[in-house]
Amino acid sequence: MMHSLPQTWLSRLLLLVCLLVSRSITEEVSERCSHMIGNGHLQFLQQLIDSQMETSCQIAFEFVDQEQLKDPVCYLKKAFLLVQDIMEDTMRFKDNTPNANVIVTLQELSLRLSSCFTKDYEEQDKACVRTFHETPLQLLEKIKNVFNETKNLLKKDWNVFSKNCNKSFEKCSSQGHDRQQEGPSDPQLPGFVFRLLVPSIILVLLAVGGLLFYRQRWRSHREPQTVDSPMERPEGSPLTQDEDRQVELPV
């Protein structure tokens, strides 16, 4: 009886210690996630945007299709992972330049933020994702928006990105399957039609121009013959009058 009492108190003490430790860890994670993205990071992104040259050249990158994924939390969960890939593979600047240093800072921030996101099933990695063709400026605006919206949601609820988004991702997969059955539109079709149509128009114009040229040449060759032909002389011309006079002379 005397031995069981200390064991009971010891187990209760260990349980209390575990609860206190887990609570302190939770508070630490909450504090870290809520304030991890600062205004300085957003200013870095704005400086990166302002330093870009305005151009119509476009780059291809994979990003979340917001038309398919309406849930804002699931959208940011998916976009956050894609932003990491874009910063690693697409957004490349010369080493040791201000822009390159900004990218390194944002990559380090993304690694720390990973602890604030729960990972969904790997087979859903490509769900709700499509290829975009946009300018570098538009891409950077997308990335800044992801960080800004993530910052706002984490301040409201540090645990917001623990939401299970597999059902939302499955809906995107089913929509993509339905679109494939309906027959996806070929993005290269307009270009193919254009390349086929332009030579056809040029051939038609050349043919019409050749016909007009041939007709003009035919008219230019025919006009001298019609002027010199005796069959088309007018009745009152001097030549016809001389001929008439010759006929009326007495024999």
Residue spans of the domains in the chain: they are: 28-175
Residue 243 confidence class, pLDDT cut points 50, 70, 90: very low
At 65, give phi and psi (nearest 5°). -90, 100
DSSP 145-208: HHHHHHHHHHHH-TTGGG---HHHHHHHHHHHHHHHHH-PPPTTHHHHHHHHHHHHHHHHHHHH
Per-residue burial over 87-98, b = 16 or more CB atoms within 10 Å of its CB, e = otherwise: beeebeeeeeee
- Residue 105 confidence (pLDDT): 95
Average pLDDT over residues 7-18: 55
Question: Mind listing the pLDDT tens digit for each residue in 42-68?
Answer: 999 999 999 988 888 999 999 999 999
- Residue 205 confidence (pLDDT): 77
pTM, rounded to two decimals: 0.60
Average pLDDT over residues 154-172: 91
Is 95 or 240 the better-scoring residue by pLDDT? Answer: 95
**What mean pLDDT is reported for the chain?**
76
- Residue 14 confidence (pLDDT): 57
Least confident of 32-41, 74-83, 142-151, 192-201: 192-201
Q: How far apart are CA 49 and CA 65, in angstroms?
A: 22
Q: Which residue in 107, 108, 118 sits closest to 158, CA to CA?
A: 118
Rounded to the nearest 5 degrees, what angle is found at the Cα of 123, between the Cα atoms of 157 and 140?
Answer: 55
Question: Mind listing the pLDDT tens digit for each residue in 179-234?
Answer: 444 444 444 445 555 566 666 778 777 776 777 777 777 677 665 554 454 444 44
Question: In the CATH scheme, what is the code of domain 28-175?
Answer: 1.20.1250.10
CA distances from 100 to 38, 58, 222 (A): 19, 20, 77
